[in-house]
Amino acid sequence: MSHSPRAIQKRTRQRPAFSCTECRRRKVRCDRAKPFCGQCRALDLVAACKYEGSHPTPVRRGAPNPPHNVQIPVDVSPSGRMRGVVSKTRVYGHGHWMNTFSLSDHQSAQHEITETVAQCKRLSRTIKKQRPSRNSVPADIQNYLADRKVLDELVELYFTTFESCYGILHYPTFLLEYEECMSHPEGAESALILQMLLIMVIAGPLHADTDIRREMAAKAQSCVHMAQTWLSAPLEKDRFTLSGIQLYCLLLLARQVNQVGADLIWTSAGSLMRMAMQMGFHQDPDLLGEISMPQKETRRRLWYTILEMNVQAALDSGMSPMITTADYNTKPPANSSDSGQAIGGRARVSFQRLLANSLPLRLRVARVVNDMQEEAAYDQVLELGKELAFACQHAAVAINQATTIGTFSSSFCSHLLGRFTLCLHYRYAVKAKTNPLYTHSRQVCVEAAIDLVSLLDDELYGRILCVGGGMFRDIFTRGALLIFVELSPDSENEISVFAIQRHRVRQEPLLRHARRVVQYAKDRIWCGDTNIKICVWFSMMMAQVEARLEGSNVDEAISSAMHESLAMCHGILKEMAARVPDDAVNNPDLGFWTPGNITPPNPDITLGSGFDGLNDEFFDFSFETWL
């Protein structure tokens, strides 16, 4: 049947077509996302997904600051695979119930309805202000801040040291907010004040003035607990912000630097990672709509900081990183620091891109090292070790080129990388004492342990190693034991006095590192560490090693070292306790630390066979499983 031109004209579509051509052809609802709608992406019909150019452009999705009561589909690139919805500051995956709703034909709500909704939102905010968690910081929190001159110096120290590897804060943005806060502290947001407090106690141990270091150490516990309380407030969705993520990162760093729950960082790092993923940090910002370049770079830096903290904490806790490279697609941050110099004029350097390049490899290493189901084949360990050696060698070139800028940054980056080699080969290095098959691991591990102890030569970074917990105790938890195992003489070397003398000459460089470890243990006690067990234990091990090498009485040497180190530790703790207010003194266990209650090791037992002769409960280091 034929139709006249007039009839055809009557059937011409009069209202504009907002849907794509493919959805109109298939007669399905189109979500009008750009460049391709959800229907076409789901059915792999992106090639046919087009919008008619003669009609008004559909409303663009994915704006960075959408209305609080609107959920919008996430905008993606043609090659992107992200499917989900952005609501406020959070991202929801395709399986979330919000994705069942569409912003289709019901967007043109009447003005009176939208106004009523807005009024309800305002009333809701008024009601929520009555919740106790809204006022979780002290009213006089500004009084916790140091004097302006000191605070300026601490901010400078922070940005020229820790920010070299952890990209937490955007320097120009923070500096503007910092100046505004200093000018009008009464109007500053809680998150900013807490950030400043954490920066203060993180950089505190690095200050040249001893009195300032003590002052910051005294404030550390309070500052950390205030930040932890504010972040942990129940039902506080406003913590899901960029400032909240930054504060969380600073909190984990402050806890390690000041030994506040440093052995539980892995648990907190997991919460931080889930918070970041809920906010879409694991998706590259190119997939999240219109975001400025500085914001994109800040998000990438934060995400890789969170990954770095997570994988480092996994080593310390003996647990899995709980994430793989398949769980994120965020691109590494740019290989540059923020423009300009720090407050005091010191140049800054960024090693974050360098660390990001080896992060997939280190995630695999951490997973293999802490696998609780089966032990990796030694061939796999060797292959991973080879890749690690190449990555560390490549990083060393970049680190050496930056040594003129500041040794702290170089030491920090070297520590973050080198400890993975130590952990990967550690078990096999101990086994090499009785099994020559693992000699390579023994050599690699001893070198890594020496590199670790050599970090103490950096005066500034050495201060963090003396006061910090978590990863900053690597010298104790791994490095020192391998050095003492290596120093224990093999049976064939004890045939004659001349053999012992030759052995001592060969071991003299390693002996210097062992003595440095013992001094480091004493320094930590002087710096406030109350765990004296390691200090006493290392003193006894050092005495045993030297007595064997010199051919002197091992039993007397160990007993003398034990009494001397105990007396020193007791004196330091007594002095520290005297500075504690009377109502806070509560240390009933101090009386147990007397020489008569500690059994010295059996002199007939070598380091290579374990310290099974030392059965005192206070010195339970489980050496029988390590050695």
Write out pLDDT tens, residues 117-145.
778 878 887 776 666 555 567 778 888 89
φ/ψ of 140, rounded to 5, equals: -100, 35
Kindly state whether residue 407 falls inside one of the protein's structural domains.
no
Kindly tell me if the per-residue pLDDT of 83 is higher than 60. Answer: yes
Between 39 and 586, residue with greater pLDDT: 39
Examine residue 35 and say whether the peptide bond preceding it is cis (omega within 30 degrees of 0): yes
Give the span between the Cα atoms of 68 and 51, in whole angstroms.
28
Determine which of 85-94, 393-402, 463-472 has the lowest per-residue pLDDT on average: 85-94
Give the model's pLDDT for residue 400: 83
Kindly state whether residue 581 falls inside one of the protein's structural domains.
yes
Q: Compute the average pLDDT of residues 328-350.
A: 69
When pLDDT is cut at 50, 70 and 90, the band that residue 349 belongs to is confident
Give the model's pLDDT for residue 247: 96
Mean pLDDT of the chain: 79
Q: Compute the average pLDDT of residues 465-475.
A: 91
Q: Are residues 170 and 22 in the same domain?
A: no
Q: Compute the average pLDDT of residues 499-509.
A: 74
Q: Compute the average pLDDT of residues 453-475.
A: 93
Query: Which of 68, 100, 132 is where one domain is finished?
Result: 100
When pLDDT is cut at 50, 70 and 90, the band that residue 19 belongs to is confident
Kindly tell me if the per-residue pLDDT of 207 is higher than 80. Answer: yes
Percent of the chain beyond pLDDT 70? 72
Give the model's pLDDT for residue 15: 56
Kindly state whether residue 425 falls inside one of the protein's structural domains.
no
Give the model's pLDDT for residue 464: 96
Give the span between the Cα atoms of 353 and 363, in whole angstroms.
16
DSSP 445-488: HHHHHHHHHHGGGSHHHHHHHHH--GGGGHIIIIIHHHHHHHHS
Using the structure block, give the residue that is written with the tokens 């003492």. Answer: 484
- Structural domain including 506 reads 488-627
Q: Are residues 148 and 282 in the same domain?
A: yes
Give the C-alpha distances (Å, rounded to integers) separating 529 from 200, 260, 468, 494.
Answer: 20, 12, 9, 38
Q: Are residues 297 and 150 in the same domain?
A: yes
Kindly tell me if the per-residue pLDDT of 346 is higher than 90. Answer: no
DSSP 119-150: HHHHHHHHHHTTSGGGG-S-TTGGGGSPPHHH
Q: Are residues 619 and 559 in the same domain?
A: yes
Q: Are residues 201 and 66 in the same domain?
A: no
Q: Are residues 271 and 154 in the same domain?
A: yes
Q: Compute the average pLDDT of residues 549-564.
A: 90
When pLDDT is cut at 50, 70 and 90, the band that residue 86 belongs to is low
Determine which of 76-85, 243-252, 470-479 has the lowest per-residue pLDDT on average: 76-85
Kindly state whether residue 372 falls inside one of the protein's structural domains.
no
Q: Are residues 95 and 177 in the same domain?
A: no
Kindly tell me if the per-residue pLDDT of 345 is higher than 70. Answer: no
When pLDDT is cut at 50, 70 and 90, the band that residue 403 belongs to is low
Per-position b or e across 70-95, b if 16+ CB within 10 A of its CB? ebbbbbbeeebebebbbbbbbbbeee
Give the span between the Cα atoms of 274 and 272, in whole angstroms.
6
Long-range contacts of 119-124 (CB under 8 A, 24+ apart): 121/68, 121/69
Q: Are residues 69 and 151 in the same domain?
A: no
Kindly state whether residue 209 falls inside one of the protein's structural domains.
yes
Kindly tell me if the per-residue pLDDT of 4 is higher than 60. Answer: no
Q: Are residues 306 and 211 in the same domain?
A: yes
Give the model's pLDDT for residue 442: 92
Give the span between the Cα atoms of 589 and 597, in whole angstroms.
12
Q: Cβ-count burial of 331 within 10 angstroms (0-12 exposed, 13-18 middle, 19+ buried)?
A: middle
Between strands 84-87 and 71-73, the pairing is antiparallel
Give the span between the Cα atoms of 398 and 353, in whole angstroms.
11
Kindly state whether residue 409 falls inside one of the protein's structural domains.
no
Q: Are residues 180 and 310 in the same domain?
A: yes
Kindly tell me if the per-residue pLDDT of 274 is higher than 90. Answer: yes
Q: Are residues 282 and 153 in the same domain?
A: yes
Kindly tell me if the per-residue pLDDT of 493 is higher than 70. Answer: no
Kindly tell me if the per-residue pLDDT of 516 is higher than 70. Answer: yes
Query: Which of 271, 299, 327 is where one domain is finished?
Result: 327
Give the span between the Cα atoms of 62 and 287, in whole angstroms.
9
When pLDDT is cut at 50, 70 and 90, the band that residue 65 belongs to is very low
- Helix, strand, or coil here: 627? coil
Give the model's pLDDT for residue 507: 83
Give the span between the Cα atoms of 366 and 420, in whole angstroms.
8
Question: Which alpha helices (DSSP H) does 232-264 contain, by range?
Answer: 242-257
Return the closest-CA partner of residue 38 out of 56, 57, 22, 15: 22
Q: Are residues 85 and 207 in the same domain?
A: no
Return the closest-CA partner of residue 251 out of 271, 272, 229, 228: 228
Kindly state whether residue 478 falls inside one of the protein's structural domains.
no
When pLDDT is cut at 50, 70 and 90, the band that residue 48 belongs to is confident
Model pTM? 0.76
- Per the DSSP assignment, residues forming a β-bridge with 87 are 71, 90
Kindly state whether residue 317 falls inside one of the protein's structural domains.
yes
Q: Compute the average pLDDT of residues 530-553.
A: 88
Return the closest-CA partner of residue 349 out of 338, 359, 362: 338
Q: Into how many domains does the chain fold?
A: 3
Long-range contacts of 91-100 (CB under 8 A, 24+ apart): 91/278, 91/279, 91/280, 91/283, 91/288, 98/71, 99/73
Query: Which of 100, 125, 156 is where one domain is finished?
Result: 100
Give the span between the Cα atoms of 577 and 586, in whole angstroms.
9
- Per the DSSP assignment, residues forming a β-bridge with 93 are 84
